[in-house]
Amino acid sequence: MNQPTAVCAEIDLGALASNVRLMQQIAGSDKQLIASIKANAYGHGVVPIAQALQDLKVDALATGSLKEAQLLRQHGIVLPILLFAFADSELTMRAVTEGFIPTLTHLQMAEAISGVVKNPTSVYLKIDAGLGRLGEPLDSARQWVEKIFQLPNLRIEGIYTHVPFADSKQRDWAAQRLQAFDQFVAELKNAGYQFSVTQAMASCCLLARLQDHCNAVCVGHALYGLSPFSSPGSVDVSQLRPVMKNLKSRIIHTSYHAEGSDIAVGGLYGLKRPRTIGVLPTGMAHGLCKPVEGKVMAVLIRGRKAKVLSVSLEHTTVDLDGMEGVSPGDPVTFLGYDGDEEITLSSIANAWGIQPLEALMRLSGRFPIRSMDATEESGRI
Ligand SMILES: *Cc1c(COP(=O)(O)O)cnc(C)c1O
């Protein structure tokens, strides 16, 4: 009997390496690369991705989750790990005692850390340069930074901001915000405040070829081959290579239904011709969803598209109409190539009526991850 095909997600570490190099090349050799691995590395599996990024010699990792940071240390990741801002002072304190670099977003948090630690402790400061989310707003940031510098036992290593934009029309807004942040940092430096890391640009800024005077960038989307733009306009994202290469399942059962049969699955009542139905052991519990009204979803079996008829909690059923001899154990591709046919992440997201990154979040952590290294033929099974 054939070895059953594993239900798994395959990540392409060759594509990851290529995207890292592309971002380093766009950023320029004078800028450090901080890799954003938040949200389970954007759904790609935080441990194998962080291990690969460490081998690729990125300068640091950044995540918003203390749990994720702890998991990485347990798996031998020695890179500095920056924690994006969390509101919770208690968690921030834990992060400090465990050797992670916290982001300070308000004075009380800085005072609390300063009051507890015995030795100089590395922290980053976050400035809100116009996004309107976390960090001290630029207008009041000068006094804020001065106050924090007066506190004992803080080693203020970095200062950063975040100016994401999803519509390339907002490029000018981002360019202005970067300039305002640059000017702010320049004024601080003139007044004698030193930072070893200054950082403002994420994927969107780099892909849109914006520039700044900071000495680091913090990139997520692009490393995974994901475009940060919902409307890319003139920004070219074609050089990015998808890291989520395949999602695989397998056939566990097939059944034949004669002409005229009433079968409920997919609403196939009163069949006009005989049909064969295939069942896969992956369903909503694995993050899969039914297509929204008016959309169709397909999977690949033996290099051909098979329509999804229904998605239930633990199973998906597909229409094997016109496919001869499909049997239990046969591999099924939800995402990626089988022969010359391909199902893209965008087409899945489109069927679900959401953005590609949202689709990855639904699937995140639900499939065992298998890493394909650069030497494996990528994308084909
Ligand atoms: C997520 C995040 C980034 C990375 O942004 P991408 O768009 O994924 O490149 C950078 N900085 C901060 C503060 C973030 O939260």
Ligand 1 atom with minimal separation from the 219 CA: 9
State the chain's mean pLDDT as an integer: 92
* Cα(220) to centroid(ligand 1), Å: 6
List CB contacts of 347: < 8 A, sequence separation 6 or more.
none
- Rounded CA-CA distance 257/253 in Å is 13
pLDDT of residue 374: 66
Are 30 and 70 a contacting pair, CB within 8 Å?
A: no
- If one residue of 19, 124, 127, 162 were mutated to test the ligand 1 pocket, choosing by the most ligand atoms within 8 A of its CB, it would be 162
- φ/ψ of residue 370, rounded to 5: -120, 125
* Cα(263) to centroid(ligand 1), Å: 48
**Which of 94, 87, 34, 104 lies closest to 66, judged by CA?**
94
Q: End-to-end alpha-carbon separation of the chain, Å? A: 19
pTM above 0.85, yes or no: yes
**What would the pLDDT profile of 35-83 be if each residue is shown by its tens digit?**
999 999 999 999 999 999 999 999 999 999 999 999 999 999 999 999 9
Are 171 and 207 a contacting pair, CB within 8 Å?
A: no
Token pair recorded at residue 67: 């749990």
**Is pLDDT above 60 for 2?**
no
pLDDT of residue 261: 82
Ligand 1 atom with minimal separation from the 160 CA: 13
Ligand 1 atom with minimal separation from the 222 CA: 9
pLDDT of residue 376: 62
What average pLDDT does range 263-276 have in this prediction? 81
- φ/ψ of residue 28, rounded to 5: 100, 150
